[in-house]
Amino acid sequence: MPTPSGEVRAPGRDWRDPSTWHLRTRLVLVAMGLLVAICGAVGLFSYASMDLFLTKQLDAQIGQASERAREFGRPAQGIAGGRPDPLDARGQGVGTLNARILNGAVSRAGFLAGDATRKSLSPGDDDVLLELAPNGIPADRTLSAGDYRLTAVRAPYGDVIITGLPLAEKQNTLASLVWTMLVVSGGGLVIIGLAGTALIRRTMQPLEQLSAVATQVSRLRLDAGEVALAVRVPASAAHPGTEVGSVGHALNQMLDNVSNALEARQQSETKVRQFVADASHELRTPLTAIRGYTELLRMSEHFTPDGEQSLARVQNQSLRMSTLVEDLLLLARLDEGQPLKPSDVDLTQLAIETVSDEKVMAPDHTWQLELSEEPVMVRGDAARLHQVLANLLSNARKHTEPGTTVVTGVMRSPGGGAVVTVTDNGAGIDPDFVGRIFSRFARADPSRHNPAAAMVRAGSPLAAGTPVGAPTQGTSEGTSGLGLSIVQSIVEAHGGTVGVTSRPGRTEFVVRLPAAGPPFRRFPAR
């Protein structure tokens, strides 16, 4: 919707609330309001001055006409026994009104019409004439012949002579003045409004540049990865000698500071990723040796039952540690931006194989498939997409009770891509945790960050004083909080998205993949 300055109002802005208007709109309206007030004041002053001038001019004419009427109306100048009509006096102009009041009554009253003939007033005008005080002060009255300015003077011979002139000429002059001021002021306001709008827009252009720069920066992803913060306020809008220029200069300094901080953060993240990658790579060798020697001991040595259980625990924890190291190494490689290995992947067959593996690992769950009739093909890295499905199914298995039904769906999306869903009817996810579920090392149970606390909560024999190697529940299924973060990284590397919705009795992860993504798209640095 256009605003008073001609600009298009942004959706959601209430035009009835001035605080939501653009600054240039308010400046134009304030300027126009001041101009209207000035024009109104000038118009009122001009009208009052003209009215006063015309009134004085008319009063002077009335005074002269009244003098002529009094002199001509003397009884001695007329016919014996009669009184001359003041209208017959010489020099009386068209429209002049004269009346004689004799003994408290109007004896003669009339005016000169435009054709120089005498016209009588109506009987109803007598009351108006009789109300006039014979003090010579002019007064405006409305008669049957129109609006008149009248004056009543008592003549030396005792009669009251009333003289008047029409107000039509004065009113026409004032009306012409009003229309002239309205037309001239209106045209001037339109011209000044358009010129002012253009000038204000040009003056406010540096502020718009500042707003555009701030908006562009606000849309950048500054939370992670390498950020090129090269946008700056133009030099023309960043001159510190003006108010707007000072703001632009300060904004550029702030952006320089932010850019330096982002570079320092990126360098720090790079060092951390390199350390994680190096540490993970170095840890693989001793962990492999631990597993190898554990297997060798089990095959070559004889242990007591407690020793067998303790050795099994060592082997299980080494496997868990190896999985964690592999996940850390994978994330480090993802952060480095290693390229995908694209190929045509049948998601339908991939889902069947992954669900079959989970059935073997968790027969106490109910595993179901919902597949489209035709194979769903996408372009992507088969190994990575298998890892996405495996992590989602493993997440459902680890965080739901036995007997839970897990449904894996694969279908074609309307846009030609693919939609993969993993749905379970478990207890659901805490709403406060859903927003950060794809973050690294995010786990719903804080106690799992502390293995000792988890063992105490699980009734570990290490805490209860039972022999080492006694069976414990849940220790082999501990999670590192990296699985869903890996899922998100792989899906985004394929140009897709992943999301989750959860309520008690239904939790659903939805993965959307394009039909044919960029063949050599790299993993995003997170």
Question: Looking at domain 220-336, which CATH architecture does it have?
Answer: Orthogonal Bundle (1.10)
Strands (E), 159-297: 160-166
150-170 per-position pLDDT tens digit = 999 988 877 888 899 999 999
Strand 366-371 relative to strand 97-102, pairing: unpaired
In contact, 378 and 515? CB cutoff 8 Å: yes
Q: What is the DSSP letter of 523?
A: P
- pLDDT the model gives residue 104: 83
Confidence at residue 504, expressed as pLDDT on a 0 to 100 scale: 92
What average pLDDT does range 421-444 have in this prediction? 85
| Mean confidence (pLDDT) of the chain | 79
Angle between helices 483-493 and 382-398 (to 10 degrees): 150
* pLDDT number for residue 512: 93
Range with the poorest average pLDDT among 4-8, 44-48, 287-291, 308-312: 4-8
Percentage of the chain lying above the pLDDT 70 cut: 80
Q: At residue 453, does pLDDT exceed 70?
A: no
Q: Which CATH superfamily is domain 341-458+481-526 in?
A: Histidine kinase-like ATPase, C-terminal domain (3.30.565.10)
Mean pLDDT across the stretch 502-518?
Answer: 85
Q: What backbone torsions phi and psi does residue 108 show, to the nearest 5 degrees?
A: -140, 130
Sorted by where each begins, the domain ranges of the chain are 76-168, 220-336, 341-458+481-526
> What is the DSSP code (8-state) at residue 58?
H
Determine the Cα–Cα distance for residues 410 and 388; give it in Å rounded to an integer. 13
User: Poorest-confidence range of 189-193, 314-318, 390-394?
Assistant: 314-318
- The CA-CA-CA angle for residues 330, 331, 337, to 5°, reads 95
Contact between 204 and 24 under an 8 Å Cβ cutoff? The reply is yes
The 3-state secondary structure of 218-240 reads HCCCCCCCCCCCCCCCCHHHCCC
Q: Does 181 score more than 50 pLDDT? A: yes
Percent of the chain predicted with pLDDT > 90: 25
Alpha-carbon distance 152 to 160, whole Å?
6
> Given 3.10.450, 3.30.450, 2.20.180, 1.10.10, which CATH number is that of 76-168?
3.30.450
The predicted structure's pLDDT at residue 464: 35
Residue 446 has pLDDT above 70, yes or no: no
Tens of pLDDT, residue by residue over 81-140, are 466 777 777 777 888 888 888 888 888 788 888 777 888 888 888 889 888 888 889 999
pTM of the model: 0.47
What pLDDT does residue 139 have?
A: 92
Distance of CA 383 to the CA centre of its chain: 44
**Run of H or E including 457:** helix 451-457
Average pLDDT over residues 481-491: 85
242-272 pLDDT, tens digit per residue, is 777 888 888 888 888 888 887 777 777 676 6
397 neighbors 365 (Cβ within 8 angstroms)? yes
Backbone phi, psi, residue 367, to 5°: -110, 130
Q: Name all contacts of 25-29 with Cβ < 8 Å and 24+ positions apart.
A: 27/200, 27/204, 28/4, 28/193, 28/196, 28/197, 28/200, 29/4, 29/5
Q: How confident is the model at residue 184 (pLDDT cuts 50, 70, 90)?
A: very high
Quick one: 130 exposed, middle or buried, by C-beta within 10 A (0-12, 13-18, 19+)? middle
Closest-CA residue to 424 (of 306, 508, 310)? 508
* pLDDT surpassing 60 at residue 12: no
Predicted confidence at residue 248, as pLDDT, reads 84
